[in-house]
Structures are given as C-alpha cells and as structure tokens.
Amino acid sequence: MSQPIRTYTRIQNQDQTQYPPERVSVNPARFEDEVGLYPITPLAGVKQACEAARQAFPSWRKVPAPLRGNLIYNLGQLVSANKTVLASWLTREVGKPYSEALGSVQEVIDTCQFFVSEGRRLYGQTVPSEMADKRLFTYRRPVGVCGIITAGNFPIAVPAWYVVPALLCGNTVVWKPSEDAPVLSYLFCQLVEKAGFPPGVFNMVLGDGATTGAALVSMVSAGLVDKIGFTGSTAVGQRIGRVAGENLQVPCLELGGKNPLVVTERANLELAVEGALWSAFGTAGQRCTSLGVLIVQERIYEEFIARLLERTAAMVIGDPTDPSITYGPLISKRFLDNLLAFQKNQIQAHHQVLTPTIGQITRENPWPNFVGDPAAGYFAHPVLVGGARREDVLYQEETFGPLVAAVSYGELEEALDWANGHGYGLSSAIYTQDPAEAFYFQENIQAGMVSINNTTSGAEAHMPFGGNGRSGNGSRQSGVWVLDQFTRWQGVNWDFSNQLQRAQIDTIYSPGDLDYRVPGW
C-alpha cells in the first residue's frame, strides 16, 4: 500500500484527517497491488468544501487574470517536471498503457500552456454605440463556484480541461474525481496546492457518483454551486441537466458516444484499417470518443473486415507497463461487469461475432498474444460484431469497452443515416481520398467532432471538444470555446454626454436619399 490518502476540503489546510480511510484503490492489472486507501467524503464534507469555495470566490475573482495565469503556469511546470511519475501512477491505478498515460499527462501540460496566455487575453470587446459620447464594452465575468465531476478514463487530463480554465477565469472549484483514481487525483491536488492557489480556491471531495457526486449536484439547489461540469453517462447528464435547469443554470455536459467511422471505396484501406483498429481498441475502447459503429461500403466490406480481423488477431493485450501492448485492463471491475452484461444481453442470434470469442480474458478463455497473468486483472477480449440492425441496443447504446458493431452501406447517404441514427453526436471519422465525400460527410454528420483520414479519438488541447444530441448539451471544452462555460458576458454602456440619451428613441436615424416606403402602405 503506497498512498493512504485523506479528503481535502480546502487546499493548504493540510490533508484533513476528519474522514477515516475506508476503501482500497486496486491496480486493475494486478489485484494484489493495493494502490492506496481513501475515504468517502460525506454530505457534510461536500457542503464544507462548497462553502470553502464560496468563501474564497470574492477575493479570487479580484486577482488579475494574468496573475491567475501565473499560477496555472506553475501548475503546468509542476506537472511537466513530474510527468513520468504521474504517468506511472496513472498506469498503475487505472491500467492505461504507459505510453498513453504519458500522453494523458501531456494533455494537462498542454492545457496549462494554452490557458497561461489566455490569462493575458481573456478579451472583452469595445463596441460602437448608436449614440454620440457613449462607449460600449463587454467583459467576461466568472460564474462562481464550479462543481466538477469527472471519469476514470482520463483521470487528470479531462479534469484539467475543466479546472484549468475555470480557475483562470476567476472561479473557485470543488472537484469530485473518479472513484477509480483517488490516488492520482490526490497527487494532482498536491501539485495544485504547490502551484500556490490560495486556500479554498480548489477543493477535492472523494467518493462514487451515486453518493459524493450526487451530494455535489445537490449543492446546486442548496445555492452553493453555480455551475456543474460533468463527464460521464448520458443518463446521469440528463439528471444533472434537470437539476441545473430548475435552478436556471447551464451545466457543461460531456456525455456518451457511439462514434461512427465510415470507410468508403475511395479510402486508403491500409490507413483505414489502422485507424479503425486504434479507434476501436485503443484504451480498451474506454474513451468517450472510441469507435462504436464501423460503417463500411458494401463492395469493400468483406476485404476490409478480413484485414481488420487479421490486425486484431495480431494485437498484444495485457500488462499496461509492457510497451508492446495495444491495450491493458478495463479501468475497474464495474466497467468489466457492465461490458460482460452488455455482451450477454445485447449480442443476439441475428448477430455474427467476427472475432474469435467474447467475454473476459482468463486462463480458460485466453487471448493468444497476452502479456502477464490474465487472472490478475480485468481484461476483456476485443469483439467485432456484424449484422447489427437499427433497433438493436448494440447499435443504439454506448458500450464503453472493446466492442464494436460493423455494418455495410451502399450510398454515402445511407452511411450517414447509420452514423447519425442512434442520436449520439460526439466524435466521428471518415476514411476517403475523395474531397467531395469528405465535405459531404462533415457537413451532414451531427457529431461535434469529425476526423478525415484519422481516428475517432485524439483530442488536442486547443480544439473544441464536445458533443450534440445524446452526447451533450452543445457545451464545448478546450481552447477559447470553454471560456464561455466559465464566464458570463457583461455588457457595459458608459455615457459621458451629460444628458439623458435613450437608446432607439433619441438615436438620430438618417433615412438617407433612398425612399424605402412601400406605396399604398
């Protein structure tokens, strides 16, 4: 046991000991490795954290944005200096392959780097007035206390997408990280503290979604939280949306996906096979952006699937510290159980399992190229299923694991019907060398993100990230777009004419020479 941890209610309040460690965080690739002990923050602790954040807000919002940016700079430098250590903990606690874990930590650094400069911009506008001696301005104002609830697949990268801009914009934060990554989250908190953020500006509470997460959401109605940022399932996002709506708030929701990848006859097939393989099975299919439905033109379907199966069979799976693997374990038992239940209930008689088998990788149900001991972790077989129909849950619902439905299409319009038909709209991809096909696809897909000749996954820190339909409420993270989540526009009009000037009424509208009147009116 390496890291017994305690709940923060306020940073720089030293890790408070009021909640005893209750649960063990376990390495999902090696059960005997207990990564850390962690407490569950009770409702009273969640309230205390929100109150601390509320108390800290008035002075934090007054810190000039460039100076808030300096603390983000410190955070980025701290994460960078400890990149390999953080990546090792990430691999150990959620089973992400080490090279991917490094990428995940890099995403935090990239996010900090982007927002450091944003502290020196955070631009408003000067706007022309319709009256003389009057000036109009717009300013971004912080929203208040932000409750951030995040998932275990990107346990610090996705939190950074929320936390970094929220703090930069002058908000204070209460963060509920994934219960699958409490130790890594705690380490991240230590770096935030070391970066120099004042007490109460950043707070962490621990526990699962149904208890601690729900407690944090209940703080919206209690008047202690002004904005919720949530990454997770569509069903929970809908519940949060209802609470936010009742309180006239707009949450930032990044929800599920059933991300389509279309391969046309004009694709570079080798590249498309590689792209489909990574989209489907990279991160064990546990990205919000992982491939859900593979949609292949019918004249190349057989050949494409054969090539994909060949590459799938050659994949190495297993120990996430081994550089040869494509994917490691599922994040936790909960994810494995959900996947197995989905396979059991949703792969039906009319489907064809195209890969050798389904289920958990075990000694009795082995994967040939396995590294490590399958009995020591939550490993799942890669599964490709043909014959999906529109009404199937297999097609309609997010899976979150290495399971993909494959279908064929005739015309590109039909491919788009498949790509949009389930109502999710997070990420998407098309492989084609024909610009006309690429343009047609990008104009008609309802997803928030489209890749052309690249995979469904792989966000960059300065591009808008987010979905439509069942994938979210149109909110976007990352880049300048997320600033609209963590600020509200204030319009200021400043009249120095020393007389009452009434907009529209006292404005001198010049009709010009043209007579626009309609005869007879």
Nearer to ligand SIN by C-beta: 320 or 374?
320
Torsion of CA 485, 164, 178, 205, to 10 degrees: -100
Does 288 participate in binding ligand SIN (rule CB under 6 A)? yes
Residue 252 CA neighbour count, 13 Å, CB half: 31
Collect all residues with Cβ–Cβ distance below 8 Å to 468 and sequence separation of at least 6.
425, 446, 447, 448, 474
Phi, psi of 191 (to 5 degrees): -70, -40
Report the nearest approach of ligand SIN to the CB of residue 87 (Å). 15
Q: Which amino acid is at 179?
A: E
SS3 520: coil
Report the nearest approach of ligand SIN to the CB of residue 282 (Å). 9
The CA distance from 119 to 136, in Å, is 22
Report the nearest approach of ligand SIN to the CB of residue 460 (Å). 8
Nearer to ligand SIN by C-beta: 160 or 243?
160
Only one residue has tokens 């909640």, namely 19
SS3 385: strand
Report the nearest approach of ligand SIN to the CB of residue 500 (Å). 53
Only one of the segments 176-184, 282-290, 485-493, 509-517 lies at the binding site for ligand SIN (rule: CB under 6 A); that segment is 282-290
Nearer to ligand SIN by C-beta: 203 or 457?
457
Of 216, 438, 459, 461, the one binding ligand SIN (CB under 6 A) is 459
Only one of the segments 3-11, 126-134, 286-294, 320-328 lies at the binding site for ligand SIN (rule: CB under 6 A); that segment is 286-294
Of 47, 54, 92, 287, the one binding ligand SIN (CB under 6 A) is 287
Give the strand order in the sheet containing 259-263: 352-353, 383-386, 403-409, 291-297, 259-263, 427-431, 449-452
Q: Is 270 a catalytic residue?
A: no
User: Among 73, 107, 63, which Cα is nearest to 87's?
Assistant: 107
Report the nearest approach of ligand SIN to the CB of residue 129 (Å). 43
Only one of the segments 305-313, 321-329, 416-424, 451-459 lies at the binding site for ligand SIN (rule: CB under 6 A); that segment is 451-459
Nearer to ligand SIN by C-beta: 100 or 437?
100
Total residues contacting ligand SIN by CB under 6 A comes to 9
The CA distance from 182 to 186, in Å, is 6
* CB count in 10 Å sphere of residue 300: 18
Report the nearest approach of ligand SIN to the CB of residue 91 (Å). 17
Q: Which of 50, 112, 146, 288 is catalytic?
A: 288
Q: Is 254 a catalytic residue?
A: yes
Nearer to ligand SIN by C-beta: 148 or 243?
148
Only one of the segments 20-28, 324-332, 455-463, 486-494 lies at the binding site for ligand SIN (rule: CB under 6 A); that segment is 455-463
The CA distance from 162 to 230, in Å, is 9
The CA distance from 391 to 268, in Å, is 31
The CA distance from 374 to 371, in Å, is 8
Nearer to ligand SIN by C-beta: 90 or 220?
90
The CA distance from 161 to 452, in Å, is 24
Nearer to ligand SIN by C-beta: 45 or 209?
209
Of 457, 478, 485, 487, the one binding ligand SIN (CB under 6 A) is 457
Contact 74, 109 (CB under 8 A): no
Collect all residues with Cβ–Cβ distance below 8 Å to 509 and sequence separation of at least 6.
none
Contact 244, 267 (CB under 8 A): no
Site for ligand SIN in 141-170 (CB under 6 A): 153-154, 158
Site for ligand SIN in 229-268 (CB under 6 A): none
Binding to ligand SIN by CB under 6 A, coded x per residue (else -) over 167-206, reads ----------------------------------------
The CA distance from 444 to 262, in Å, is 13
Nearer to ligand SIN by C-beta: 16 or 106?
106
Angle between helical axes of 43-62 and 214-221 (0-180°, round to 10): 60
Of 42, 387, 458, 464, the one binding ligand SIN (CB under 6 A) is 458
Nearer to ligand SIN by C-beta: 122 or 449?
449
Q: Which of 107, 254, 398, 437 is catalytic?
A: 254
HEC readout, 363-378: CCCCCCCEECCHHHCC
Only one residue has tokens 């200021």, namely 492
Report the nearest approach of ligand SIN to the CB of residue 258 (Å). 13
How far is residue 220 CA from its own chain's centroid?
21
Report the nearest approach of ligand SIN to the CB of residue 168 (Å). 20
Site for ligand SIN in 495-514 (CB under 6 A): none
Report the nearest approach of ligand SIN to the CB of residue 90 (Å). 14
- Taking only Cα atoms into account, the Rg of the chain, rounded to an integer number of angstroms, comes to 25
Contact 51, 224 (CB under 8 A): yes
Of 185, 259, 289, 396, the one binding ligand SIN (CB under 6 A) is 289
Which residues are known catalytic residues? 254, 288
For ligand SIN, the binding residues (CB under 6 A) are: 153-154, 158, 287-289, 457-459
